[in-house]
Structure 1
Amino acid sequence: MIAQYRKQFNASFSEEKYRKLILALQKGYTKIPFRVAETPVFIPASLKEQLVAAGEDIINLIKGPDFIASTQNAIPVQWNVPGENSHPHFLTFDFGVCKDEQGKLTPKLIEMQGFPSLYGFQAVLGKAYKSTFKLPENLTPYFGGMDEGEYIDLLKKVIVGPNQPHEVALMDLDAPNQKTAIDFFMTQALLGIKILSLTDIFKEGNELFYREGEQKIRLRRIYNRLIFDEIAGQIGLFKESFDPRAELDIEWITHPNWFYRISKYTMPFLKSRFVPETIFLNTLKSTPPDLENYVLKPLFSFAGMGVIIDVKASDIHGIPDPENWILQKKVAYEPVVQAPDGGVKVEIRLMYLWPEGEAPRLCINLARLSRGKMIGVRYNQDFDWVGGTIGLMEQ
């Protein structure tokens, strides 16, 4: 979107450089199972300023005195975990890049989460693009004057804290085989923490442990990457491991309840020029006559699962649990990234870290390029110049 960088990048692009990028990212880790885009996104200063402002609007709501009470119903009864802390350690906000009435670029909120994203992978990805494609040194994926060293120090402060790295584990259901495992391995390389599957952990009393050879090691913190909804039909695994809903002497980074509090559930409470009109389906008084301008989303899903793009009245009336759905005004993505054969739509994820006792800090970003009907790798498998990438900004 910064014309001079786009022109230079496209002119010097080659498939050989792209192959080198992928090889550099995978070296020493694992094969990347999702598509990495051919190009970064060059974010202009005007759009960067609006993204920062849009994020602040959301954070002001989250920090408000009524937020905990207003989102209490977001947490499913069966997944309400004890020991919730006062704020999440991670915030991620996804914005589609659109154009306003004056034809200027503007962000519109699509999704939000109080849950970790690819905090390790994105740091490596930004550096790999710059190195492979010989991009100018003044381009950065970081916000607020932050550099790589400061970012990693803050990531360590949030995830490891005062503990020893071996006392902290990144946990998922089958961690080494997750689609995002490369991020897990990169995070481990940056911070020295363990990577454990749920069943690698066992409970004695109210304490959690894992084994390293013959040694039993106590866990102090869990860097949680497990989405509990994914294991709703597999809770028998808790008998082999531990039940996270029990009273445990463990610190969650971030606490599982925040996955539900900061989600699509939050969007109807937001009033901002950067947020499309959103309403809980069970509060809908009448069906809009222009349903083609709306999208129907389940509250508790991820990666676009269950979303109804072409909404019909019968879809709305056929929902058996309208309290778990939202109706949202469609966002018109603008194809603003110029590939060699035309425009590509882009979504930018702002990624925050929120240390205990401090303010949340916007650190880095993730971007996704799309030519398909929806943003996301699964919807763009037959295209090139699409997939996961990162936004670079002038310092």
Structure 2
Amino acid sequence: MNPSPRKTFNAGFTDAKYQEFLSKLNEGLHSPVQFRVAETPVFLTTDFRDRLIAAGNDIVDTILRPGFKELTERAIPDKWRVANETSHPHFIALDFGVCKDEYGNIVPKLIEMQGFPSLYGFQVLLGDVYADVFDIAGDETVYFNGLNKASYIDLLRKTIIGDCKPAEVVLMDVNAPEQKTAVDFYITEKYLGIPVVSLTELVQQQNKLFYKTDGGLQLIKRIYNRLIFDEIDNDPEIFEKVVDIREPVDVEWITHPNWFYRISKFTMPFLSGSYIPKTQFLHQVDYLPADLENYVLKPLFSFAGQGVIIDVTLDDTRSIKDPENWILQQKVNYEPVVQSPDGGVKAEIRLLYLWPDGDEKPTLAINLARLSRGKMIGVRYNKDFDWVGGTIAFMPR
């Protein structure tokens, strides 16, 4: 990580300034941020930034290869397969742990990947408030590919709205206002002018979808989808009560729900390279490694870290009834490279890509970062620590 801006940031940090930061971050929002935001951003060196970009390019190249859809057909659970799949995902998120290689170099290692949107709106605000409150130098940026705030929002608009009118595009989730990420929904609504709706608010007439407005019903041409089927899996009768969005309705998906599964843990056994930890489908492992303690077991169809077995034993591998739905992955050992006032903190960087219709390939646009002192990176695993949580990475322009 970049030592010069880190030294400057830490020298000027006070808890009072952090409280000012949180107050300004929450100012004017629909509701306060529902997850912990870290005391600090991450500062990347040019070298590490370039390693991240190179690693991301290699993975995107795999997604762009002919036959990728055929390769990932099994990734989509039959009960959640949705009609009218698009030819490409509109969003790609790649999570990299910050690690140290055998030569002592700080390198990225792929942790997970998603063909699904992340906090594409909130990260803009977060970067702005960090820069403002903590006086981060103007030659540092949170954007890639020469983007700035205005051009980034233009690219976001092109991706989500396309040629439609904002009123014809909805951001949709199960119970949208109650989601922990709702802050991102309403910031996106502010930036792009698109309404936020819940699944229960969709109205179907023949093969058309609508939502209610003061003037009656508004036709929906595009759905900016934030719904993860995993969240409604415990209600098998849900589509008897609401519109069955799996059916072939006349709407464009941004991005189509099937891509959530295609670009996921399922994809990792098909990747290779120095930035990819060794990953195999459990049912294809001929010989279990002697050092099982250096591996993790991950269920393919569980998300947000749920179900992951960190300290793997032989009994764990034998007890799994559906090994084709699990991956055995070499552990990634995070290096505590972010210097807090009382020691090093582990970091993970998420590269966020946008892929509007008409573009040949996705554009790396912005990032998200998370800090951890716990055994796992997620916010839920770091409840009792400071200098942890959601953040963003700045890097030289």
Aligned position for 2:383: 381
Q: CA RMSD in A?
A: 0.9
SS at match of 1:234: coil
SS at match of 1:249: coil
- Contact 2:347 / 2:371 at 8 angstroms: preserved in 1? yes
Aligned position for 1:13: 13
Aligned position for 1:242: 243
Q: How does 1:113-132 map to 2 (within 5 A)?
A: 113-132=114-133
Q: How does 1:43-192 map to 2 (within 5 A)?
A: 43-192=44-193
SS at match of 2:320: coil
Aligned position for 1:253: 254
Residue 214 (structure 1) shift: 4.6
- Contact 2:172 / 2:196 at 8 angstroms: preserved in 1? yes
TM-score by length of 2: 0.98
Partner amino acid, structure 1, of 2:276: V
Partner amino acid, structure 2, of 1:375: I
Partner amino acid, structure 2, of 1:322: P
- Cα distance 1:232–1:199, how it changes in 2: closer, same or farther (>3 A)? same
- Contact 1:199 / 1:237 at 8 angstroms: preserved in 2? no
SS at match of 2:347: strand
Share of identical aligned residues, percent?
Answer: 58
In 2, distance between residues paired with 1:313 and 1:279?
Answer: 16
1:27 aligns with 2:27: yes
In 2, distance between residues paired with 1:89 and 1:281?
Answer: 30
Aligned position for 1:312: 313
Aligned position for 1:371: 373
- Contact 2:90 / 2:355 at 8 angstroms: preserved in 1? yes
- Contact 2:200 / 2:242 at 8 angstroms: preserved in 1? yes
SS at match of 1:289: coil
In 2, distance between residues paired with 1:209 and 1:149?
Answer: 31
Residues 217-273 of structure 1 show CA distances to partners (whole Å, capped at 9, x for unaligned) of 110010000001221232433233310111100000000000000000000000111
SS at match of 2:121: helix
Partner amino acid, structure 1, of 2:242: S
Residues 21-62 of structure 1 show CA distances to partners (whole Å, capped at 9, x for unaligned) of 111111111111110000000000000000000001101100
- Contact 1:202 / 1:240 at 8 angstroms: preserved in 2? no
In 2, distance between residues paired with 1:251 and 1:73?
Answer: 23
1:289 aligns with 2:290: yes
Residue 349 (structure 1) shift: 0.2
- Contact 2:176 / 2:198 at 8 angstroms: preserved in 1? yes
Residues 334-371 of structure 1 show CA distances to partners (whole Å, capped at 9, x for unaligned) of 00000000000000000000111212100000000000
In 1, distance between residues paired with 2:241 and 2:317?
Answer: 41
In 2, distance between residues paired with 1:207 and 1:238?
Answer: 16
In 2, distance between residues paired with 1:185 and 1:328?
Answer: 37
In 2, distance between residues paired with 1:21 and 1:60?
Answer: 39
Aligned position for 1:195: 196
Residues 93-147 of structure 1 show CA distances to partners (whole Å, capped at 9, x for unaligned) of 0000011122111000000000000000001100110001011111100011111
In 1, distance between residues paired with 2:357 and 2:384?
Answer: 43
- Contact 2:162 / 2:357 at 8 angstroms: preserved in 1? no
Partner amino acid, structure 2, of 1:381: K
Partner amino acid, structure 1, of 2:67: D
User: Structure 1 stretches of 5 or more lacking a match?
Assistant: none
Residues 295-325 of structure 1 show CA distances to partners (whole Å, capped at 9, x for unaligned) of 0001112211111100111111111111110
SS at match of 2:156: helix
Aligned position for 2:396: 394
Aligned position for 1:219: 220
Aligned position for 1:355: 356
- Contact 2:131 / 2:137 at 8 angstroms: preserved in 1? yes
Aligned position for 2:206: 205
Q: How many residues align?
A: 395
Moved more, 261-270 or 279-288: 279-288
In 1, distance between residues paired with 2:146 and 2:216?
Answer: 43
SS at match of 2:33: coil
Partner amino acid, structure 1, of 2:174: L
SS at match of 1:119: coil
- Contact 2:269 / 2:279 at 8 angstroms: preserved in 1? yes
In 2, distance between residues paired with 1:331 and 1:174?
Answer: 35
TM-score by length of 1: 0.99
SS at match of 1:216: strand
Residues 273-312 of structure 1 show CA distances to partners (whole Å, capped at 9, x for unaligned) of 1000000011111222111100000111221111110011
Partner amino acid, structure 1, of 2:3: A
- Contact 1:339 / 1:385 at 8 angstroms: preserved in 2? yes
In 1, distance between residues paired with 2:19 and 2:376?
Answer: 26
